[in-house]
Amino acid sequence: MQIKEDAKVSSQVKLLKATRANKEIIRVHYLHIKTNFEFLITWKKNSENPSNKPTYDLILFCVADEGHLAHRVEEAISYAGSDKNPEKELYEDILNKFNSFDCQNLP
């Protein structure tokens, strides 16, 4: 797996590793740079996708070393790309490091 370099200088997260738990689940481990806490998010294969290429959905659940960070990440995921997302920069930073296309290429 190749780790993407973020074009922004103000990156909030660092991708530590992504692992395939099974055929349908991918776990992605990050470090939140400002707080130095680690967190884990999960992607799940979308079984309703009729195309040959699998797609993955980001699950609204975060495990973190610190509760407030877990809440921030879950809030970022729940609002997704909406302009009303109070954690939009965090959400975009997470996806800039690893997204659904990366899930397809993970062995």
Task: Answer for the pair 47, 39: CB distance below 8 angstroms, yes or no.
Answer: no
Q: Which SS3 state, helix, strand or coil, does residue 61 take?
A: strand
32-49 tens-digit pLDDT: 999 999 999 999 998 776
Q: pLDDT-based confidence at 5, cuts 50/70/90?
A: very low
- What's CA 88's distance to the chain center, in Å? 13
* pTM for the structure as a whole: 0.84
By the 8 A CB rule, do 13 and 87 touch? no
Buried b (16+ CB within 10 A) or exposed e, 56-80: bebeeebebeeeebbebbbbbbeee
